[in-house]
């Protein structure tokens, strides 16, 4: 045997996770032990024995990436969302989130249809629009990442279909994002099956950057008329309360007395601050003492009470959702549905409605963990179930290639059919 090969094998035989990764394992396990809202469940699944079993497995792991996979395997025994170690060395470990290298955006909003990732929307004024990108094109490659191969790998995994869809979209979004003013070469397949190559720059975010745990996010908010007499808002995250609430207030006020209906689009929205859901609902509910649901933590119960605004929009309200509508998006949609204040359109949401924190571990990885249980006002848990739309509308490539949005179209048709109030 060659000397170099012998040395490599010998080194690999003694490879093990770093001390920081072992400390990270203890941090992950103890955080669940201390912060989980249902201690009886931890007793039922044997969380203390799980510690001993997985500590031994992590100690025998060949490297830090393998240790991260084991930690996620351990967290998977909880059977709930928002528990994940987000390790830069292990793409498969990224459960519900993907961490981009920067906050520059191309303006492409992707959607997963079958095993393909398509362009659902190209934002007005974006670099992607300037580069000639069109809705309905399949995203085949982003930089050095083969998206078609990634899609086959993720969509053939063992997760539930909605979780696979959510993960794939997040991973593609993380590859499209990057350092502002840099460019990414992206390969598409158009409606005729032709390969289209575009170099797309990443624009500097126009919103205010907000620190959320150990991550920085920028609110992207857009208000427009879905039709001349129908208002619409779309936003990417429930953060930046002044920016988000101020934008919605302005859009609602401009519609009072002039709009037949209103649309809130939270497709692809991963959530954020749960309390903002009840704040937004206050623009559309004029009755006091209404709630979107309740959050339960050890010794603490937080009711998401809706406080009506001085001016509320009284007309028909539609909320658009999909498999990538997560957490606070689900609380808003599910809560308004329970109160019979809104009609929901699209596809069933992720079923990942638990509020969570994100902390930095000793080895530098991020740890996302849920901090409370959520029960809707109708007495249902959305965790694992999601919000089922009142009207299920699937996205299809043919419609996208024609420049149509069937989900928004269904909402507009419903609003127009409602009696005038």
pLDDT tier, 215 (very low <50, low <70, confident <90, very high otherwise): low
Is the pLDDT score of 359 beyond 60? yes
Span 281-292, mean pLDDT?
95
Q: State pLDDT tens for residues 49-67.
A: 999 999 999 999 999 889 9
Written as six digits, the tokens of 27 are 């941090």
Q: Do 250 and 290 fall within a single domain?
A: yes
Q: Do 47 and 179 fall within a single domain?
A: no
Task: Report the C-alpha gap between 330 and 353 in whole angstroms.
Answer: 6
Written as six digits, the tokens of 259 are 């709009």
| Domain's final residue, options 152, 169, 201 | 201
| Domain's final residue, options 201, 227, 258 | 201
Task: Report the C-alpha gap between 85 and 78 in whole angstroms.
Answer: 14
Q: Do 297 and 254 fall within a single domain?
A: yes
Q: Do 411 and 278 fall within a single domain?
A: yes
- Please spell the DSSP secondary structure of 97-122, one letter per residue: ----S-SBB-SEEEEEETTEEEEEEE
Please report which helix (H) or strand (E) contains residue 7, including its range.
Answer: helix 3-13
> CA triplet 382, 385, 386: central angle to 5 degrees?
65
Task: Evaluate whether residue 339 is within a structural domain.
Answer: yes
Contact 253, 221 (CB under 8 A): no
The percentage of the chain sitting over the pLDDT mark of 90, rounded to a whole number, equals 67
Pinpoint the alpha helices (H) of 99-220: 127-130, 147-155, 161-176
Is the pLDDT score of 356 beyond 60? yes
Task: Evaluate whether residue 369 is within a structural domain.
Answer: no
Q: State pLDDT tens for residues 361-375.
A: 999 888 989 888 888
pLDDT tier, 421 (very low <50, low <70, confident <90, very high otherwise): low
Q: Do 294 and 338 fall within a single domain?
A: yes
Is the pLDDT score of 87 beyond 90? no
Q: Strand pairing partners for 373?
A: 296
Task: Report the C-alpha gap between 314 and 336 in whole angstroms.
Answer: 14
> CA triplet 28, 30, 31: central angle to 5 degrees?
65
User: How many domains does the chain contain in total?
Assistant: 3
| Domain's final residue, options 59, 93, 127 | 93
Span 212-236, mean pLDDT?
87
- For residue 13, the model assigns a pLDDT of 42
CATH code of residue 18: 3.30.750
Task: Evaluate whether residue 381 is within a structural domain.
Answer: no
Q: State pLDDT tens for residues 326-340.
A: 999 999 999 999 999
Q: Do 121 and 242 fall within a single domain?
A: no
Q: Do 278 and 392 fall within a single domain?
A: yes
Print the domain residue range for 42: 13-93
Written as six digits, the tokens of 192 are 């005729």
Q: Do 124 and 56 fall within a single domain?
A: no
Q: State pLDDT tens for residues 237-277.
A: 999 999 999 999 999 999 999 999 999 999 999 898 889 99
- For residue 314, the model assigns a pLDDT of 96
Task: Evaluate whether residue 410 is within a structural domain.
Answer: yes
Task: Evaluate whether residue 76 is within a structural domain.
Answer: yes
Give rounded-to-5 percent helix, strand, coil for the chain: 35, 25, 40
Q: Do 398 and 336 fall within a single domain?
A: yes
Task: Report the C-alpha gap between 324 and 243 in whole angstroms.
Answer: 22
CATH code of residue 403: 3.90.226.10
Task: Evaluate whether residue 103 is within a structural domain.
Answer: no
Q: Do 187 and 223 fall within a single domain?
A: no
Q: Do 277 and 393 fall within a single domain?
A: yes
Task: Evaluate whether residue 112 is within a structural domain.
Answer: yes
Task: Evaluate whether residue 100 is within a structural domain.
Answer: no
Q: Do 59 and 155 fall within a single domain?
A: no
């Amino acid at each position: 045997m060659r000397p170099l090969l012998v040395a490599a094998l010998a080194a690999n035989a003694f490879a093990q996770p770093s001390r920081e990764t072992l400390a990270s394992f203890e941090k992950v396990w103890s955080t669940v032990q201390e912060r989980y809202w249902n201690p009886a469940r931890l007793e039922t699944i044997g969380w203390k024995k799980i510690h001993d079993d997985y500590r031994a497995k992590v100690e025998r792991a060949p490297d830090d990436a393998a240790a991260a996979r084991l930690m996620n395997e351990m967290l998977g025994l909880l059977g709930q969302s928002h528990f994940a170690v987000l390790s830069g060395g292990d793409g498969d470990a990224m459960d519900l989130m993907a961490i981009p290298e920067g906050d520059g955006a191309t303006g492409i909003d992707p959607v997963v249809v079958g095993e393909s990732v398509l362009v659902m929307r190209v934002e007005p004024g974006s670099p992607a629009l300037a580069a000639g990108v069109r809705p309905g094109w399949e995203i085949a490659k982003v930089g050095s990442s083969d998206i078609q191969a990634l899609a086959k790998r993720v969509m053939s995994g063992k997760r539930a279909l909605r979780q696979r869809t959510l993960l794939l979209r997040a991973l593609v979004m993380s590859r499209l994002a990057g350092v502002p003013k840099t460019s990414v070469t992206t390969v598409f397949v158009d409606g005729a099956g032709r390969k289209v190559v575009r170099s797309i720059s990443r624009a500097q975010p126009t919103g205010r950057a907000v620190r959320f745990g150990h991550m920085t996010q920028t609110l992207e908010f857009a208000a427009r008329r879905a039709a001349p007499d129908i208002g619409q808002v779309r936003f990417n995250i429930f953060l930046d309360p002044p920016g988000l609430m101020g934008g919605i207030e302005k859009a609602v006020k401009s519609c009072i007395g002039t709009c037949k209906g209103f649309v809130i689009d939270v497709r692809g929205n991963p959530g954020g601050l749960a309390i903002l859901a009840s704040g937004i609902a206050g623009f559309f509910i004029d009755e006091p003492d209404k709630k979107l649901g309740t959050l339960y933590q050890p010794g603490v119960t937080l009711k998401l009470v809706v406080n009506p605004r001085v001016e509320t929009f009284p007309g028909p309200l539609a909320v658009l959702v999909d498999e990538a509508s997560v957490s606070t998006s689900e609380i808003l949609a599910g809560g308004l549905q329970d109160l019979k204040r809104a009609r929901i359109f699209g596809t069933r949401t992720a079923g990942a409605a638990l509020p969570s924190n994100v902390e930095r571990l000793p080895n530098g990885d991020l740890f996302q963990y849920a901090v409370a249980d959520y029960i809707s006002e109708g007495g249902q848990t959305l965790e694992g179930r999601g919000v089922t739309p009142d009207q299920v509308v699937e996205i299809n490539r043919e419609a996208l290639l024609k420049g149509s949005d069937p989900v928004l179209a269904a909402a507009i048709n419903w609003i127009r059919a409602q009696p005038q109030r």
